[in-house]
Amino acid sequence: MQKITVIQDIASSLIPKEDKRYLMLFLQDILTVYQCEDLERYGVIYYLETEQDIQDYSKMGLTQSLKETPFEYCEIVELENRHETVKRLFHACYVVNNDFAIDIFIPDNLLDEETQSQFEENRIEGV
């Protein structure tokens, strides 16, 4: 599990290249909006790398499993790599309060069918 609050967290990680590129753009957009260099005051991004990471939901600040967490929204991000194959990342956002949110990114191959179905049911239309 990668905890991300600054660009360097992504740059120095072993996250796959296409995922890393997307996460950097995502984080940079948030940092630009909030005019800061560190997301920590406003939230955190987690990139889950193993099935065990999914089970460690309390380490992400969640009180329930991903299947039971009432996410504000979910989306499926489709990324193409240099071989023109599509990789899907599931992105869920849990709003803790008006000032803090937790964003979670999970490669689709790590999700069991039930969790994947739950995410797809809660995803925002058109994304």
Q: Per-residue pLDDT averaged across 93-120, rounded?
A: 88
Interatomic CA distance for residues 72 and 53, integer angstroms: 21
Residue 28 and residue 23: Cα distance in Å, rounded?
8
pLDDT at residue number 93? 94
Residue 61 near residue 43, CB atoms below 8 Å: no
Residues 74 and 120: their CA atoms lie apart, in Å, by 7
CB 101 within 8 A of CB 72: yes
Reading the block at residue 64, the tokens are 């329930």
What integer pLDDT is reported at residue 127 of this predicted model? 43
> pLDDT digits over 54-73, tens only?
999 999 999 999 888 888 88
